[in-house]
Structure 1
Amino acid sequence: MTASEHLSQLVHTQKQTLRELEAEINALSARDFLTENDRLKSELEQSYARCRQAEQTCESQKKELETMQEALHARLYSEKQHALKAAAKRLSTYYQAQTAGEENRLAAFEKTMRTRIDQLEQQVKAEDAALFNEVASEFGRLKTLLEDRIAQIRREREAKAVSLAEQAKPEFGAMRDEPLTEQEAQAALRSRHFESLIGLSVFNKIGILLVVIGAIAAARFTYTKLPDTFKGGMLFLLAFLFLGAGEWLGRRGRRADLFSLGLSAGGVALLYVSVVTCFFWLHLLHPYAAFALIVLITALAFFLSQRHNAQVIAAFAMIGGYLPALAFFFQPKLPMEFLLCSALYFACLCLFSLLTACRKKWIAAQFISFVLNAAACSILSTFLYELLTFYPPASQGLIWLCRLTPCLLIALSFLAFLTGPLFYSRRAQTALKIHDFILQGFNLLVSYTALSFTVASIPGASRYAFLQPLCFTLTLAGTACFLWKWVPKERAGLFAAAGAAVLTSLLIIPMQFGFVYAVYAWTVEGLLFLLPGLLYKRRPLEITGWLVGAAAVLSLIVAYPMLQLSLPDTAFLPSCAAAYTCVTLASLLPMAVIIHNGREAGAMQGLYKYGFLLNLWIYTIFAAQLFLPVLISEKMGALHTDMFLLSLTILFGCAVACVSIRLPRLRDDATAVIGLLIHAVSFIMVHLLNCLYFRQADSLPKGAQLGLILLQILVNGVCVLAAADFTGTLVRRFRAPVEVFPLTVSACFTVLLTELLLGQFRLAFTNPLISILYLVTALGWILCGFWRRYASMRRFGLGLSFLALAKLFLIDLSGLSEGKRIIAFFAFGALMILISFVYRFFSKRMHPTGSITQLPAQENRPSDQK
């Protein structure tokens, strides 16, 4: 590249840079930052001026409020002083009246006594002049005494009155000088507020209602010669007069009181009445024109309610917005377009309710809107269903639009009434009230029911039945998350939303696959809540898991058999067995977690432990009788099959009882009682097995016979061990005597062995082997009594020895041959000698305070040696 080309390129680059710089300068000039800055500065000054004006207004209103409070307190204080003066005056009047009465009584008494004295004096003077001269001085002294006494009474009364007045004067003065307390002011304000409520609010609403009724009656039944257009115009004029009067009385610069709000609400109500009257009775409006006027009036009422912060206007807007539109539905041959427009209008009313609930805590307006909206959705769904049934549209799209419109409207209503109180609670950071919970409960119940009936009318909707409870579950779960994140103070609402989400989630599987599968679904869901709650010590998850599991168990016990019996194509017993097996296997997991954690925490875990043990025992009985017969050959016969199943049932029961009693992390008094109960039932079963079921050796193969014999021996041996466990538990936990343990175990062994020999091995009771068995048992009791120093065991052993000896001589010897008698004599004699040797051997090793007394020969031995 030559130098000239290089310079040309450099010049071209510089020109390009210069053009870019000029473009940037032009852009900056176009933006005119100084002008923008001036504009922002002027806006800031205007905002500052408005802020200052708002502060000045607030200060002036604050001063005005303080002035009004001072005037009110002064007024109440003057009323208090007036009341005290009136009370003092009434007390003075009452005291004067009482004093006058007493004075009158005293004067009457004085007059009566003077009259009687004069009468006595005249009588004595008339009868005997000499006697009169003697007693004349006494009559004079009596009159003087009467005058002195009455004068003294009057002086005492006057002194007492002066004393009472002096005592009451400082107290009354202190009460009069006492300032007005807050309680007195609040009581006076409450009385005046109640009076104002009756006179201003209640009478105002009653008057507006009477005016509305009078307007309707006047339009329909008076001035029949006047044209209908004039009547309709007068109604609208009256409505606008009420609105104008209410706005003028509550205009800016004056305080909007209840009276002006009542006039505005009455104007809104009269507007609705005017439209309804002109449409239904005067027939001046087309349906679409009347509907459009209703929409405009509702918008106006919404604006006025927000402008004046008036719940009464909002309530009238709700009533007037819903009722005329509902009245339009009962006109004949409503077109589909009108119904769809009505649905859109109801959706707008739902949004109006949502906006109102987000900003204001208007309870009456919310409940009125909810009730009317539920009625509107129900009526609209009914009319659309009839339209699709009798006059279906030609287009498939319109058909689906008519089907989905009620569903969408119900869903929008549910969301509107659900989220309104939540946003208000977040905005004000306040907890939900009881009326909010009532509204949310009715909203959930009504919306779910209405949506279920509406969806059921759609063809093919049953294939997606799980979507409805799933959507409700997700919505309620989102509500719980919203409250947990944005309204941390609201715990009751959080738990209520989470509980409702769990409740609706229980319907997902049953709605899709039928309630036959509810047990399986609820069991799995209960485990999903319960296991994390137990592992990570989350109490809400644990409680939810317990409740869902309880629902699964109740459905298995109550609802599941009824549903199975109502389904003819489903086998009842196998299906119930499968559900019961599922619940029992699932119950093992929480029990394993509780055992892993150690001691149970809370009453629910303790109760679950007891229920688990009882259910496990019942399930072993159920499973042995239902599942095991499939594994047994038919050649064994019904008798041997019952023996086999009963033997296994006894073994399973003893195993469960052993776990209940001996597992350290489960062991307590209640589990011990459960184990004792299972052992007692197992003892009864083994006695039934030994006494009622007899093997038939000819009908069984040798292997089966040997197996049954070994199984019966095993069952009886396990029952002996169970008796040991039973008695040991009584001794350890319930403080039974220690000597009961070996005595009970040996007695159980003896009884069971006797039953086994008599029933299963077909030995006769007269066989001396049984007596020898009793004698061996008695020897064991005596040995154990010496070893553990239990006197009662040794005595029971002696008693059993005499019983065995009596059986030998009274029963056994009569049926024996000569050789067997000799053998029996030798055997019994050897055992008796052995028992005597045991007594001799152990008596030398007993302490003097032992339970074996020394023989007389031993006591007299020293004297014999001497």
Structure 2
Amino acid sequence: MEVFLLLVLVILVLWFGKSVSRHLLASRQEMQEVREELARLREQVNRSVVRPPVDAAAAAAQRDASAAVRAAPQEAPAPPKAPETAAPAPKFTPPPSILPPAAEKPGPAPTPIPAPPMAAFAPAAEEPAYTGPEPEKPFSFSQKIDWEKFIGENLINKLGIAILVLGIGFFVKYAIDQDWINEIGRVAIGLLAGGALVAVAHRLRQNYKAFSSVLIGGGMAVLYFTIAIAFHEYQIFSQTVAFILMTAITGFTIFLSMAYDRMELAVLALVGGFGSPFMVSTGEGNYVVLFVFILLLNAGILVLAYFKKWNLLNFIAYVFTIVLYGGWLFTRVVDTPNAPYLGALLFATLFYLVFFLITIIYNVKERQRFSGPEIMMLVSNTFLYYSAGLYVLHFVTGGRYQGLFTVALGAFNFVFAYALYRSQRVDRTLVYLLIGLVLTFLSLSAPIQLEGNYITLFWALEAVLLLWLSQKSGIQLMRYASVLVLALMLVSLCLDWMEYTVTRLPLPPALNKLFVTGVVAVASLAGTWWLLGRETPTPAQGRLLRTYRTIVGLLLVAFLYLVPLLELHHQLPLSPLSENTQTLWLGFYRYVFLLGLLLWSRRLRDPGYHNLLLGLSLLAAILYTLQLNPATVSLRNGYLFTQTETLGAYATHYLPLGALGAVLVLALVKVRRQYGWGGAWGKVSLWLISIMAVFLASTELEHTWLLVSRPSAEGQYDTLRHVHNIGFPILWGLCSFLLMMLGMSRKLKPLRIISLTLFFFTLLKLFLLDLRDMSEGGKIAAFICLGVLLLVISFMYQKLKNLILVDDSAPAENMTPLPDEK
């Protein structure tokens, strides 16, 4: 019996489909004939011309000398009576009447009055091409709603079909309760009732389009519920047959929605289609059959989306699929032993591809812009699929392929983005959105698949690559992504550096992952800074680009300093060097780095950078006095008195000392070029560097005296006292003499003032502090040396007083900045 009913239903469907196809074909033929007839009428109107009187050419020539007028002969010379006004529409009118001549005798023909061209025979105005029916204006709350029309044409018919379906149901129920109809008859009544509604709707489709679509919806609903009752209550159909019947009903409803151009029918078919598995479900939980059916249903929606822009239909299908797949995933996969992970990933991939195409296919075909809901649907589809894929792959081979899955998803979006970008056919918003997804997945693949410093290495290379691609393609989104990835790379590098402090395990010098990662990060910053320097920004981007390049340059200097410093901090404590020797090596590195910055700064024109480097040079001198000099004293004493240090360890201090001397010289040159010696900053710099030079010379004299005399531990104090009482006055006197010589030869009054001041403090120290503790030999040597130096200086003042006076009255050229350095 069920086979017979199925056969009857198939025959009815085929008959109805053939009838609908026949009527649609006839309608198309009629429409084509109407269009051809309209085209012929337009052609006749365009070819129609006025038959003017005999002398119409002369009148036309007077109006427009450049116009060519064709004259046609008339039966009588009398002109027709001109109409007062031209007809407003291009329509055919009968020719004007011809008046008889006034007399038979020959004579000159009266001059006809030129008549204006009649609208019926005027050149037909160019008509716009047929563009189809005007699209309905979008609904706005500011529009005035015709409630009578809404209720009468829209609401009542839907209520009526719903009540009719309920009435049929009540009738069938009553007949069943009274045992009037057996099971097969009940199902037949339901099928006939649904088919009758569809047939009536088809007859009314041309004159009552909206009403017929409502009847079709009611008929399809009756068919759905009839098949469901026949399966569940009476077991007339098997599960497979019932499922096939509902699938056929769904496909037929989608066909009718396209034939009638009614989205409501497609929505009904979609809701019924998603409800069909539940209507014929037996509780076995066969997810393969369920998802295959949903996939076929979504494939039908994809075909429909190619022809119709029914976003509501796409959204309903999207929501139903998420609910069904998500519910199954959380109930049958999550926290379930031996879950079908591969099946879950397979169907998630297929659903993602289908809805990706559903979202973009119509807009790409019609070159339309993407709306906000469409973009949100595309983004949510991607990230929901990505989340499900990551979860499933976490349980497949221990998550080993999660990074590969991320890269594959990014590559898929990249292929579409590149193809659409090259075609120049689609909305740029879609291209940029796909590019953003590609960049996102490319950046996420590193922390997902890689560990530790490999993430930093990946992001370092990606940041430079994205900036280069943005310059080649002109896509600004890549530039913004480059900035974000560069920031992530620096954060990841700082997290990697925490391993320096967390673990103290030995690492190979320089050839370890932390140092190599730091070098690559510095190279990434350098590449970014170099690429930014090659750009020619627009006036609007100029300031922003310069600011960003300045920030990248500062970060480059900072990380270029930190990368070797952290490596030294990790390697030196693991070496056999003493703590004081390590301090000297770290100081030497700092001075060498500062020396490199001073040399590089010659290319910079911004005075702010020069002032910053001068301040760092002053800090370097203070660092030596507070940190490196005490470390040198400890090394010296350890070598001389406790034998805990070696002479080589002590000699290490000459490295930072020489580097500091070079730093001070370059800083002095920079001050001379930028400020000159006559300014306040020039004078202050001469004072500071002179004081630092005297201090360094005094410390080295102390070290050398002790190394040469090699006193015992008990005689250390007496030796130092002799150095301070005798050696320092003599050394300071020599320094004062040298400063005076430089001041006179270079015509620098500040150096001469510094020399005299140093002489004054030297004499003050000698007479107030050192004289009573000096030995006789020390007194003789100190006083003779200082006396000779003072006499020489006085003689030089007397001999060079004219030059000095000229120097004081007219500043020399070297006291002002150089012209090209201002």
Residue in 1 that maps onto 2:243: 291
The reply to whether residue 375 of structure 1 matches residue 323 of structure 2 is yes
User: SS of the residue aligned with 2:593?
Assistant: helix
Cα separation, 1, equivalents of 2:412 and 2:583: 58
The reply to whether residue 843 of structure 1 matches residue 780 of structure 2 is no
The reply to whether residue 254 of structure 1 matches residue 207 of structure 2 is yes
1:535-588 deviation digits (Å, cap 9, x = unpaired): 99886655544443333223333588599989x9999x9654443343234444
Superposition pairs of residues 49-198 of structure 1, within 5 angstroms: 52-53=32-33, 55-56=35-36, 191-192=143-144
Residue in 2 that maps onto 1:480: 417
Cα separation, 2, equivalents of 1:386 and 1:596: 53
Cα separation, 2, equivalents of 1:357 and 1:546: 38
TM-score, length of structure 2 as denominator length: 0.67
Q: AA paired with 2:624?
A: V
Cα separation, 1, equivalents of 2:594 and 2:734: 27
User: SS of the residue aligned with 1:307?
Assistant: helix
Cα separation, 2, equivalents of 1:751 and 1:839: 27
User: SS of the residue aligned with 1:742?
Assistant: helix
Q: Percent identity?
A: 17
Cα separation, 2, equivalents of 1:498 and 1:211: 52
Q: AA paired with 2:628?
A: N
Question: Is the Cα contact below 8 Å between 2:739 and 2:752 reproduced in 1?
Answer: yes
Q: AA paired with 2:522?
A: T
Residue in 2 that maps onto 1:408: 346
Residue in 2 that maps onto 1:312: 264
Residue in 2 that maps onto 1:686: 624
Change (3 A) 1:807 1:837: same
User: SS of the residue aligned with 2:409?
Assistant: helix
Give 1:367 shift.
Answer: 2.0
Question: Is the Cα contact below 8 Å between 1:522 and 1:549 reproduced in 2?
Answer: yes
Question: Is the Cα contact below 8 Å between 2:675 and 2:682 reproduced in 1?
Answer: yes
Structure number having the greater helix percentage: 1
Q: AA paired with 1:822?
A: I
Change (3 A) 1:808 1:729: same
Residue in 1 that maps onto 2:785: 827
Match of 2:284 among 316, 333, 336: 333
User: SS of the residue aligned with 2:368?
Assistant: coil
1:726-770 deviation digits (Å, cap 9, x = unpaired): 7458738xx964333433332332344445556897655833433
Give 1:708 shift.
Answer: 1.4
Change (3 A) 1:263 1:646: same
Cα separation, 2, equivalents of 1:452 and 1:825: 88
Give 1:347 shift.
Answer: 1.4
Cα separation, 2, equivalents of 1:815 and 1:439: 93
Question: Is the Cα contact below 8 Å between 1:610 and 1:671 reproduced in 2?
Answer: no
Residue in 2 that maps onto 1:809: 767
Residue in 2 that maps onto 1:469: 406
User: SS of the residue aligned with 2:439?
Assistant: helix
The reply to whether residue 637 of structure 1 matches residue 578 of structure 2 is yes
Cα separation, 1, equivalents of 2:725 and 2:500: 58
Change (3 A) 1:414 1:644: same
Residue in 1 that maps onto 2:589: 649
Question: Is the Cα contact below 8 Å between 1:654 and 1:722 reproduced in 2?
Answer: no
User: SS of the residue aligned with 1:506?
Assistant: helix
Change (3 A) 1:709 1:403: closer
Gaps of 5+ in 2: 1-25, 43-136, 707-719, 812-822
Question: Is the Cα contact below 8 Å between 1:426 and 1:486 reproduced in 2?
Answer: no
User: SS of the residue aligned with 2:324?
Assistant: helix
> Which stretch of structure 1 is more off in the superposition, 230-239 or 823-832?
230-239
Larger Rg: 1
1:801-821 deviation digits (Å, cap 9, x = unpaired): 322221222222233212211
Residue in 1 that maps onto 2:9: none
Q: AA paired with 1:831?
A: L
Q: AA paired with 2:207?
A: R
Change (3 A) 1:224 1:791: farther
Residue in 2 that maps onto 1:658: 598
The reply to whether residue 745 of structure 1 matches residue 719 of structure 2 is no
> Which stretch of structure 1 is more off in the superposition, 591-600 or 516-525?
591-600
Gaps of 5+ in 1: 1-45, 63-184, 393-401, 854-866
Superposition pairs of residues 775-814 of structure 1, within 5 angstroms: 775-779=733-737, 794-814=752-772
Cα separation, 2, equivalents of 1:614 and 1:690: 23
Question: Is the Cα contact below 8 Å between 1:661 and 1:671 reproduced in 2?
Answer: yes
Question: Is the Cα contact below 8 Å between 2:187 and 2:226 reproduced in 1?
Answer: yes
Change (3 A) 1:593 1:832: farther
Superposition pairs of residues 25-40 of structure 1, within 5 angstroms: none
1:14-34 deviation digits (Å, cap 9, x = unpaired): xxxxxxxxxxxxxxxxxxxxx
Give 1:652 shift.
Answer: 3.5
Question: Is the Cα contact below 8 Å between 1:690 and 1:760 reproduced in 2?
Answer: no
Change (3 A) 1:726 1:690: farther
Question: Is the Cα contact below 8 Å between 2:591 and 2:660 reproduced in 1?
Answer: no
Superposition pairs of residues 568-587 of structure 1, within 5 angstroms: 575-587=513-525
Change (3 A) 1:711 1:53: same
Give 1:442 shift.
Answer: 0.3
Superposition pairs of residues 528-677 of structure 1, within 5 angstroms: 528-531=465-468, 543-558=480-495, 575-591=513-529, 602-627=546-571, 632=575, 634=576, 636-640=577-581, 642-659=582-599, 661-662=601-602, 664=603, 668-669=606-607, 671-672=609-610, 675-676=613-614
Change (3 A) 1:189 1:502: closer
Q: AA paired with 1:579?
A: T
Give 1:268 shift.
Answer: 4.3
Change (3 A) 1:487 1:743: same
User: SS of the residue aligned with 1:850?
Assistant: helix
Match of 2:274 among 322, 345, 365: 322
Cα separation, 1, equivalents of 2:40 and 2:156: 31
Question: Is the Cα contact below 8 Å between 2:456 and 2:493 reproduced in 1?
Answer: yes
Change (3 A) 1:280 1:591: same
Give 1:264 shift.
Answer: 4.0
User: SS of the residue aligned with 1:191?
Assistant: coil
Change (3 A) 1:749 1:538: farther
Question: Is the Cα contact below 8 Å between 2:595 and 2:662 reproduced in 1?
Answer: no
1:119-162 deviation digits (Å, cap 9, x = unpaired): xxxxxxxxxxxxxxxxxxxxxxxxxxxxxxxxxxxxxxxxxxxx
User: SS of the residue aligned with 1:767?
Assistant: helix
Cα separation, 2, equivalents of 1:349 and 1:377: 14
Change (3 A) 1:218 1:278: farther
User: SS of the residue aligned with 1:432?
Assistant: coil
Change (3 A) 1:302 1:701: same
User: SS of the residue aligned with 2:207?
Assistant: coil
Give 1:449 shift.
Answer: 1.4
Question: Is the Cα contact below 8 Å between 1:530 and 1:541 reproduced in 2?
Answer: yes
TM-score, length of structure 1 as denominator length: 0.64
Question: Is the Cα contact below 8 Å between 1:220 and 1:281 reproduced in 2?
Answer: no
Residue in 1 that maps onto 2:79: none
Cα separation, 1, equivalents of 2:680 and 2:257: 81
> Which stretch of structure 1 is more off in the superposition, 277-286 or 839-848?
277-286
Give 1:480 shift.
Answer: 0.5
Change (3 A) 1:51 1:487: farther
Change (3 A) 1:648 1:332: same
Give 1:772 shift.
Answer: 4.2
Give 1:279 shift.
Answer: 5.7
Higher relative contact order (CA 8 A, sep 6+): 2
1:651-698 deviation digits (Å, cap 9, x = unpaired): 343134325523x2x553564465456445534432333343121214
Cα separation, 2, equivalents of 1:653 and 1:208: 88
RMSD over aligned CA atoms reads: 5.0
> Which stretch of structure 1 is more off in the superposition, 826-835 or 46-55?
46-55
Change (3 A) 1:270 1:812: farther
Question: Is the Cα contact below 8 Å between 1:779 and 1:797 reproduced in 2?
Answer: yes
